[in-house]
Structures are given as structure tokens and as C-alpha cells.
Chain A
């Protein structure tokens, strides 16, 4: 189901991309390269990703979390506000980190799906106006009318709807939870056990992240300090990324998902399956990303090496915790490189679009 939704989101994004390119008049770009169906690619990547398959085989609940995240993105792209709100509330309820997706969701609802910078549209419009000073307002209106998806204004109506629906869904979910956990200590106990567990990291079982070994070795005096530092690292990046990438909210959502799966307290390969699938939505823009082959080899290598080291350490007793932790750190480094390079490639693509739109008369 997630793959179907990704495909639909991808189609939506692609339509928006085409339209925005047309509106900028960069038809030459379209003719130069063939348009890849990014939605289909993303859906196929998600379905055939070995990490997704492994997650499903292991009967984890990650596919359900992925589904509701993609559901919210799809709902936002299609302007289905209740669906988007539902997806976001359930995703936050299941694991705390999708709460940061509220920023890209609001941006999608307000501005619409990914498009080049609004400045370009304004420049284009001003150039056009400059070129044809004699055209009357009628022509301009026709221009504007022929581009119904042009995101020049932030539509507050949809955002307010979203907030209303989100609060409605969250009240409903909290009510249901309250009723079902009443005999176990009430909502406070539930929050302490679920969100408190995610935030305070009491269980130190080895996983593919870097936090377990750190908190097994850190001195008790600094434990709270480092907990705050690690969680603020995710929160801190929300604002700069939102400022820089506010015209591409779907890509912003992808970056947020990648960062939260890198820095979360109990990551799993299900999280990386999600963002690798979403990466496929942006093949057009990220076509000339640096280090792509290196990253691919890195992911493949880590996915082979990590279970081997785990087995050596825990089942055979011949290895050390350091072997397994080294693979976890290498995995984190590869994820960092992926995030940084994809952001850089997207910004480069924007720069290229800007150059092309300026150059064209």
C-alpha cells in the first residue's frame, strides 16, 4: 500500500514539476532529457529494497509507520486535509519523531508540491511584463489562470483546516488510548512508557544506531546532558532546512525523515527503507549527485557486514562490541553523506534552473 501511495505522490510531484518548468519557459530542459517516471521508480525502489523485505520478514511494525507517513504526504499533496492530518497524528502516536513532519506538511498544504523558487516565477512574470508592456491585464490574467497550481500565495485556509483536523484526530486518539489504558495507570503512564522511553533511552540493547553503545559507556553524570544534545541535534536542523528548502516541501520531508532515522534513539532498517524509497521520487533533480556509487556500495557493504559482526559478538563470542559498533558508525556516516549530498544536489539543481531561466530570453 505504501508503494502505491508513493507512486501516486510521485505522479503528483511530477505533474507539478512539469507545469512549473513550463511556466518558467524552460522547455529546452524537457526536450534534452527524457522524463523518468519518478513515482514509478520510487515505488519500485521501495518494494524491491532488500531492507523493506527484511523488515516485513522480521514482523516489525515499521511498515505500518512508513505507511502512515506516506499517507500524510500523499494527503497533503492531493489537498486531502483530513487524510493528511490523520496520517500525521497516527505517525506521531506510533513513534515520536514524525512530529517534525508538520513543517513540510504545512508547507505542502500552503504552497503546493515541490517547485522551483518563487522568486524565479516573479522574475519570469516581471520579465514577461517587461517584454510586453502593451499587453493588457486580460493577457496576464489568462497567463495566471492557465497556471492554476502556481504557488504565489500561501493559502492559509488549508493550513487552518489541517490544524483543526489534526487536533480533532489527536483528541480522538488520546481518548481511545485513555480508555484502553485506564486500568494500567492512565495516560500519564502511557506517555512515560512510550514517549519517555524513546526520549530517555533506558534500554541498551544493540541496534543499528549509535546511541546504545554511547549510553552504555557514558558516565551517569553526563547522561541527561547527552540525551538533550542528541535530541536537539534533530530539532536544530528543522529551522535552517525549512528556511532554505521551503519551496520544496516534499524534499524537505524526505530530509527530515532521513535525519530522524539517522539520529533517533532506536533506529531500524525500516526507517531507512522509507527514505530510500522516497529518494526515488527525486531522481530527476538528484541525477548528478556526487558519491552516488560510493554510497550504494557502502549501503550494500554495511547490510552484509552488520549481521556478521552481530553474530560474531553475541552468538559466537569471538568478536567484540566494537566490531558491531564500528559497522553502526559507518552506517551513520553513509547516511550523513547521503543527506548532505542530496541537499547539495537539490540546491545545485535549483541554481541551474535559475541560471537557465535567467539566460532564456
Chain B
């Protein structure tokens, strides 16, 4: 592990930390929401950072601030924007079942590029010069639908138990790619479906794996066949070979009616299920030890028959959207729809013979979107319900202008037969100083993704107890019980903008109005009758031209006075101007003195 990360852990006393850079949105409907990959690797767009510290309570914020600055420098990203208290929050139980010193921050608008990938790869022992990381062809990765690089650090150094103390660094790169179809599907099959594109490592990445990194303990490639695909293939196999087929051995072959692998795997691992009527996941393992520069590893996957399958979904599919129009107020709605349970995948949490579905919602809203938490409404199957019926517990930290964002953690409980739940919250939009707007202010501001977690459901795979399996960190990761998580979309909220081109104009015009008030009021107070009469007498002696007479007639009409031909305008104009000049000089002198003394 690189020395840099070791240093960070020791300096900031981090117990656990996760940093992810993501571009794209994980499509839960198509790519699944219930397996370990989507639960732990589907991350919100942009940057997400959370950390648990092992310092006293009042020093956590300072540690967080230093951590953000350090990571920002390490990864060439603007993570330092998370340092101000308006950007991060301290969830209690809504995000993780930790407590106390967890800090969570997210930057939805951060773009991810190779400048962030390169320092991430530098943390690997062989970088991208040897081993599996040589596959990281930048154009191929960034062409995909979704890519996310994740860094997870957990340290047991500061724990009380000294058994197995150490620091573990997990780096995961998740990419969703579509293989390019070299030929248009010319063969149409009976069900009028199109054959899936076949792919190989060289066709996707343009490179082959030529040996493993010498510093690595193990270097493996796994091909996972999902439950949904497996069950579809079973049906296909049964149709193909009629009844009496040997279903058990079918799964162990890599050459079956559905697809074919170009290289024989070293081992086939099958999941051991708790429930027997579920289809199991199959993993094909390839050890890279056996390959070298002369014999590179290039796995090819060829489809033989069009198969349509669906990935296992989380119990509820979450989406979030904005309601309302105009730039003064609006509403946020989180809508959760029940998905089809696949093959009895969930276990029912039976409480008194009724099935209840529990989930947590965690949402952070920036301060300039002022959410009114008392307007929370719950709609179950389209009908408004009382909030206390469905919400088990709730923790709200209302936002404070320019100090902290609004944090909401809710635990809800629904009966299993509910089809959809919608939560709505109303908000008012704030108005910012021109310095606080981002460069493209008219695009709007982002509300970070909300996190929906299902504490009762665990996305994990179960394998036979085999010591050789535990040597692979990926498989041991798959066997960990982690709760099912899903992230909603990032919302874009347009805010009213002032006119950015006019600071000087606004300042001068407002100050002119104030000067008008000041000067004319003082002048009216100061005026003496005798002086005015004398001034008028002196003006009477002058002759006024036609234009002057017309103007004075107009002014007299405006004032509502009767017009006398020799009535001239009041003597206030010249007096006002001298007053104004005096005031301007006075204000300029005060401003210069202020600048001098404080500058």
C-alpha cells in the first residue's frame, strides 16, 4: 500500500473512509439493485466522501477539513469544496449504522476525468504497468455508460482489540460498457429477438492481460453469470433437450446452448443458497498466474442464442423529482415503486403474521433550498396518509442560512403489499450574493442524491466454506453482509439570479437615492425665509425666456400652484448641488480614512 495513504490514516486517525468518483448514473432497472456489485459499487454522480474518525468529538470537524484538503491535492479534484460546513453533514443512523463521528459530503457537479484516474492508479503497487490494471485503456473506460472509481480505507489500528490490526485499502473501478457490434444481427430467431453482442477483452479494451503484477499475492479474473440469466438458460436448456435433462451438470459447463467462453476456466464456483428454489450464481475463475507476455490472457464471450433476462431488483425502485414552477418555491418528491420479487428472493420479515418492509431515507439539501420539514406528506398508493402511521423514527437537522445544510434521516415501515409510496416536501428558494453563484449560474444548483437503504435485506453471495475462497478479496467481499443501498437522481434546482453585469450601477444608483434624501431634507430644514425672498427678488430682475417660462409653467402645474409669470424655480437647486458636493467629499474622505486604517 502506498505510503501516502498510510500517512493520511495515521495523521487524521481515520477509522474508515470511502471516496468515490463517478460519472453517469447507475441504471437500477437494467443493471440490478440487489447484488453485491450494485449495492456497493453503484455510487451517486460526482464525488462522494464519507469518513469516520477516531478523535474527540469537537476535533472531528477540523480533521474532516484537513482530510478534504489532502485528498483534493492527492486526486486533483476539488474535494476541498467539502470543507465548509455548508457542504457536509453528520448523519446519525440514516446512512450507516455508525454513530458519532461520521461525516458525509457529496459534490454532484464534479466531473471525472483521467486526471482523477491516474493518481488512483498510482496507489496500486504496479500502477498500470503490469497486471490487470494494464487493461485500463482510457478511451474505452470513458466511453461507457457509467464509470466509478472507489477507494475504501479501513483501519483497525485504533481499535481496542489488537488482533489483526492493520490498514486495508480497497480500490474498485466499476465500468459499464457496451460491446460494439461488429456486424448487424443478420440472423433473426423465432421469437424475433436480436442476439446479444459478443465481446472479448481485446475488443472492449483493445489490450490483453500479459501476466500478473509481481507484487500481487493473487491475480484473478471472474466471470459472473447472474441469477436471472441462469434461470433463463435453465429454461432454454430444458426446452432444448426436452425433459430428463441433466440440470445439475449444465451449470458447470462453460459451453452451453446460451453462450460459450473462449478459454476454459480454472474453477467454477457455484453459490450455495439458503432457499432451494432460487437459481444460484455461477462464477468462472481464471488465474492470471498461468499467463505471461508470450501467452496473453484474452477472454472471449460468444452468445449463441438470444436471451432476455432481468437483473434482481431491490424491493423498491426509488426515483426523485422536483415539483412546482417559478423561482420562489417548489417541492421535492421521492417516489418509491415496488418491484417484482424474483424467485422469492426476499425473506419476509414476519411480525405477527404480517409482512413489513422497512427502509431508511437519508437526504441532504443545501441551505439555499429551504425545506419546510413540517410540510412532509406521505402518499401510499396515491392516497395521502398520516405521517405517523408509516414513519418509525425521524431525525431532522434544519438548515441554517450559510452555516449548515438541511439533513433528513427517516426510517419507514410499510406493509409488503403496498405498490408505491411517495414522500413530498415543500421548499422556498433562497437568494444568494453574486460571489456565491457558480460560473454558470443559470444552469441551476444541484441537490445531492438521497440514499435509500434496506436494513433488512443483505446483498451477499454464499459459497461453500472453502479456505481457498477466502484468499480472494473479491470473493470475501461478496460474502460480506452489506445492506442493500440505492441512490436517487441528482436534482437540478434553478435559482433566481441577480444581474451579474451591474454591481457598479446598482451601487451608484442606490447611493444617488440616498444622497437625494439626505441633501433635500437637510436643505428644507435649513431654509430661511428671508434668504429665499432676497434670492427671489434678485431673480425677478432677470428676464426669463420662452423656454424658461414654459418650464416654470410645467413645474407649477406639477406642484398644483397657480402660475405667476415671474415665478421662477425655487432657489434650492444650486444649494442642493453645493450640499451634494460637500457630502460627496465627506463620504470620500471617510472611505479613504477607512481604507487607510483597515487596509
Q: Which residues of A approach B to under 8 Å, CB–CB?
A: 202-206, 210, 212-220, 225, 229-230, 233, 236-237, 240-241, 244, 262-263, 290-294, 313-317, 320-322, 325, 329, 332-333, 336, 339-340, 343-344, 347, 351
- A344 and B559 alpha carbons, distance in the complex (Å): 13
* A291 adjacent to B558 (CB under 8 Å): yes
* B328 adjacent to A314 (CB under 8 Å): yes
Chain B CB within 10 A, most for which of A210, A220, A244: A210
Given contacts A206-B431, A329-B510, contact A233 B522 (CB under 8 A): no
* B328 adjacent to A315 (CB under 8 Å): yes
* A343 adjacent to B517 (CB under 8 Å): no
**Please, which residues of chain A bring their CB within 8 A of the CB of B430?**
203, 205
Q: Which of B401, B434, B560 contacts A216 (CB 8 A)?
A: B434
* A332 adjacent to B513 (CB under 8 Å): yes
Query: Would you mind naming 30 contact pairs between A and B with Cβ atoms under 8 Å apart?
Result: A204-B432, A210-B510, A212-B431, A213-B510, A214-B510, A216-B434, A216-B498, A229-B587, A230-B514, A233-B514, A237-B518, A237-B521, A241-B521, A263-B517, A294-B558, A313-B496, A314-B327, A315-B326, A317-B326, A321-B496, A321-B497, A321-B498, A321-B499, A322-B502, A336-B516, A336-B517, A336-B520, A344-B527, A347-B524, A351-B529
Q: Which of B433, B527, B559 contacts A290 (CB 8 A)?
A: B559
State how many angstroms separate the Cβ of B301 from the closest Cβ of chain A: 51
Given contacts A205-B431, A315-B327, contact A233 B524 (CB under 8 A): no
* A218 adjacent to B498 (CB under 8 Å): no
State how many angstroms separate the Cβ of A100 from the closest Cβ of chain B: 15
* A233 adjacent to B510 (CB under 8 Å): no
Q: Which of B433, B510, B525 contacts A240 (CB 8 A)?
A: B525
Q: Which 5 A-B pairs have the closest CB atoms?
A: A290-B559, A315-B326, A217-B503, A336-B517, A344-B524
Q: Which residue of B lies closest to A342 (CB)?
A: B524
Binary contact readout B400-413 vs A (1 if CB under 8 angstroms, 0 otherwise): 01100000000000
Main secondary structure of the interface of A (DSSP, over half): helix
**Please, which residues of chain A bring their CB within 8 A of the CB of B514?**
229-230, 233, 263
Q: Which of B325, B326, B498, B594 contacts A217 (CB 8 A)?
A: B498
B591 at the interface (CB under 8 A from A): yes
Other than A262-B517, A351-B529, give 5 A-B pairs with Cβ distance below 8 A.
A204-B432, A293-B560, A314-B328, A316-B326, A322-B502
**Please, which residues of chain B bring their CB within 8 A of the CB of A317?**
326-327
- A312 and B103 alpha carbons, distance in the complex (Å): 41
B351 at the interface (CB under 8 A from A): no
Given contacts A225-B591, A233-B517, A329-B509, contact A314 B434 (CB under 8 A): no
- A230 and B402 alpha carbons, distance in the complex (Å): 23
* B516 adjacent to A333 (CB under 8 Å): yes
B239 at the interface (CB under 8 A from A): no
Given contacts A213-B506, A314-B326, contact A340 B559 (CB under 8 A): no
Q: Which residue of B lies closest to A354 (CB)?
A: B529
* B525 adjacent to A203 (CB under 8 Å): no
* B561 adjacent to A290 (CB under 8 Å): yes
**Please, which residues of chain A bring their CB within 8 A of the CB of B509?**
329
- A225 and B517 alpha carbons, distance in the complex (Å): 19
Given contacts A210-B513, A217-B507, A321-B497, contact A240 B502 (CB under 8 A): no
* B498 adjacent to A213 (CB under 8 Å): yes
* A320 adjacent to B401 (CB under 8 Å): no
State how many angstroms separate the Cβ of B401 from the closest Cβ of chain A: 6
Given contacts A237-B521, A315-B328, A336-B520, contact A329 B513 (CB under 8 A): yes
* B560 adjacent to A291 (CB under 8 Å): yes
- A329 and B561 alpha carbons, distance in the complex (Å): 27
**Please, which residues of chain A bring their CB within 8 A of the CB of B389?**
none
Given contacts A244-B525, A321-B496, contact A216 B510 (CB under 8 A): no
